[in-house]
Structure 1
Amino acid sequence: MGNINSKKNYAVVVGGTNIDILGIPKKGLIYHDSNIGNVKTSLGGVGRNIAENLSRLSVDTHLVSIIGDDSYGDLIIESSKEIGLNLDNSLVLEGENTSIYLSILDGEGDMEVALSSMDMFEKMDIGFIKSKKKLIEESKVCIIDTNVPKDTIEYILKNFKGTDFFLDTVSTEKAKKVKDLIGLFHTVKPNKIEAEILTGIEIKTDDDLKKAIEYFHSKGVKNVFISLSKDGVIFSDGKNIDRLKVKDPSIINATGAGDAFIAALSYGHMRGLDIREKARLGVGASLLALSHENTINPNMSVKNIDKKLEEVELC
């Protein structure tokens, strides 16, 4: 579909950047014991992952983040140059180590447990973000992840105008910080547990899901996507509620599926696609992410998303 280069037709991602250390057991995970397996190190961070996926989808993407001035930080900078991801508006902190995210998978490739060391993102304060006003306001879409301090997120949403804000909730704990700001987002993509936290509605049935979606819309959210894990995704634009599910998806590594999904949603939004087409792109991007051992599938592209969707049964 070509590059996106026209004025305002670029994306900004405000969020976390770190190094992912991934533990992959060769068999089922045995607790309280040393497990035989493989350990992989890769570039990560929800914001950076979304930004890389967008870059691989040929979107002009600017990442606003913080990295350390260590060897990991150098690696992030060099990799970004290779894929065309713009880091000019990110901050390199002298004397600081780049944040690390450590995750352990189970025997089926799903995340079992994870630890994150991301205190440095508290330095993404209001003073820092004020200088990004023009960049953000002139973007077509701005994706914010909840690694960013709540005060900074609130400042962006209430003071920067002219763009559509997308939310990546990151985790159940970090989702709490945007509960009172949820109506200021154009698009949200929580999983079911995060949706419960954001709405205060316990979700056990399809009716509960619809109530949660109606809550988001009543607050001002235009597009809602709720991830249901193996049961697919339910989505709504305030007029129609629909869902997509993939029959028997193949999972090698589930770590980056959500990041790929919201990147594809953003791409679809920039292209003016309807909500079902956005959801379809998101599902296809997730499938590509799931099918590769790396957090980011290096083969991510619109062409490969379409090809992947042709290989699976959507229902």
Structure 2
Amino acid sequence: MTLREKEILSLIRANPMISQQEIARLLGITRSSVAVHISNLIKKGYVKGKGYVLNEENYVTVIGGANVDIQGFSLDKLKLNDSNPGKVKVSAGGVGRNIAENLSRLGIKTKLITAVGDDLYGEKISNECRIAGIDIDHCLVLKSMPSSTYLSVLDENGDMKVAISDMDTIDYLNIDFLKTKSLIIENSSAIVIDTNLSLEVIEYLLSNFKHKIFFVDTVSTTKARKVKELIGYFHTIKPNIYETEELTGVKITSDHDLEVAAEVFLKKGLRRVFITLGERGVFYKDELTKKFVKPPAVKVVNATGAGDAFMAGLVYSYINDLNLDDTIQFSMYASEMALSHENTINPNISVDSIYNKMRSE
């Protein structure tokens, strides 16, 4: 924030109904200059907008990847080294963006900080975010850069068999840019990050906002390595078995190994550990409780977005102070809704739809 912006913000705090003309008179500058400074304060998140109401609304900030998903669905048994009849869908995706959309559809005010290119894919990502109710005013739009793309092939059971991830655009989401979003991050009720972010950015966020609640989506075993030495800064983590092995150094071949690995997480400072086990469900552990929870029965149509929906369920549950059992059930049924729809994000997901499923099964 510039010195002039600080002066204007101070006047607004003292009198939220002050006019631009009065600000100009008090500071000895033109009214048009005041308008420009106020516009910058709005963009930076210090002011909400009309009436100069300061931004104090509860919201979650998601910082992570956004891309266009190109998904191929095989209609029959997938044959490698051959052309397979099927369907191809193109939609907005990315771990961070997907979590943000699920949160927004669950009624949580959500701000997304990501990087997109100034291209057709970037426009598609932005439009789909707006339609879903995500606040994207604080995203980085890169001129002359392509938006990130994720290309995947799913088999006849809806399971991903191979994928190519072109996520270089997220590397431009650097510390200097995030410094301009400090107030947005600081005022968040919770912060969700994914490991598509660079190690330097993750370290910056955790060290400068260490008093905040952080949820981390580990994305993959390779990308999870970035946070191996930073685990203790997080409140909640949701890895699968392979990511858990990578982060803890514990080879998991039994239920006992899961407990040992979870204890490694907790000793490093994590508060809650949800290890996803696919068809077996979830293993949960904190300082007082440990439990296995089986998932609801579901016909898998598309497994791509299940983890993103589960994470959104965890964040929703935290914001709404749900107890442990309800947290796990709510998150599992959010994941079940994702699994049962061909889109990565089930457009029908909502708090009511999840509770209806929980009551009926």
User: Normalising to structure 2: TM-score of the pair?
Assistant: 0.83
Alignment of 1:1-315 (within 5 A): 7=56, 9-312=58-361
Contact 2:296 2:333 in 1 (8 A): no
Residues 167-208 of structure 1: CA deviation (Å, up to 9, x unaligned): 000111101111110110000000010000000000111110
Residue 119 of structure 2 aligns with an amino acid whose one-letter code is: D
Cα deviation for residue 8 of structure 1 reads: 5.4
Q: Cα 1:8–1:195, aligned 2, differ >3 Å: closer, same or farther?
A: farther
Q: Say what the alpha-carbon RMSD is for the aligned residues.
A: 1.2
Residues 137-195 of structure 1: CA deviation (Å, up to 9, x unaligned): 21111000001001100110011144200000011110111111011000000001000
Structure with bigger gyration radius:
2
Residues 13-66 of structure 1: CA deviation (Å, up to 9, x unaligned): 000000000010011110111111111111100000000000000111000000
Residue 257 of structure 1 aligns with an amino acid whose one-letter code is: A
Cα deviation for residue 72 of structure 1 reads: 1.4
List runs of 5+ in structure 1 lacking aligned partners.
1-5
Residue 155 of structure 1 aligns with an amino acid whose one-letter code is: Y
Residue 145 of structure 1 aligns with an amino acid whose one-letter code is: D
Contact 1:138 1:162 in 2 (8 A): no
- Give distance in 1, aligned partners of 2:295 and 2:129: 32
Residue 250 of structure 1 aligns with an amino acid whose one-letter code is: K
Q: How many residues align?
A: 307
Contact 2:231 2:270 in 1 (8 A): yes
Deviates more, 1:77-86 or 1:298-307: 77-86
- Give distance in 2, aligned partners of 1:72 and 1:150: 26
Contact 1:288 1:308 in 2 (8 A): no
- Give distance in 2, aligned partners of 1:202 and 1:210: 11
Cα deviation for residue 220 of structure 1 reads: 0.5
Residue 111 of structure 1 aligns with an amino acid whose one-letter code is: M
Contact 1:53 1:300 in 2 (8 A): yes
Cα deviation for residue 130 of structure 1 reads: 1.4
Residue in 2 that maps onto 1:3: none
Residue 340 of structure 2 aligns with an amino acid whose one-letter code is: S
SS of aligned partner of 2:347: coil
- Give distance in 1, aligned partners of 2:132 and 2:231: 32
Cα deviation for residue 81 of structure 1 reads: 1.9
SS of aligned partner of 1:180: coil
Contact 1:236 1:242 in 2 (8 A): yes
- Give distance in 2, aligned partners of 1:28 and 1:238: 45
Deviates more, 1:54-63 or 1:130-139: 130-139
Residue 305 of structure 2 aligns with an amino acid whose one-letter code is: G
Residue 197 of structure 1 aligns with an amino acid whose one-letter code is: E
SS of aligned partner of 2:322: coil
- Give distance in 2, aligned partners of 1:247 and 1:125: 40
Residue 24 of structure 1 aligns with an amino acid whose one-letter code is: F
Cα deviation for residue 100 of structure 1 reads: 0.4
User: Normalising to structure 1: TM-score of the pair?
Assistant: 0.95
Quick one: higher RCO (CA 8 Å, sep 6+), 1 or 2?
1
Cα deviation for residue 276 of structure 1 reads: 2.2
- Give distance in 1, aligned partners of 2:149 and 2:163: 11
Deviates more, 1:298-307 or 1:128-137: 128-137
Residue 146 of structure 1 aligns with an amino acid whose one-letter code is: T
SS of aligned partner of 2:229: helix
- Give distance in 2, aligned partners of 1:306 and 1:28: 35
Cα deviation for residue 247 of structure 1 reads: 5.0
Contact 1:137 1:161 in 2 (8 A): no
- Give distance in 1, aligned partners of 2:227 and 2:324: 23
Identity of aligned residues (%): 49
- Give distance in 1, aligned partners of 2:202 and 2:238: 16
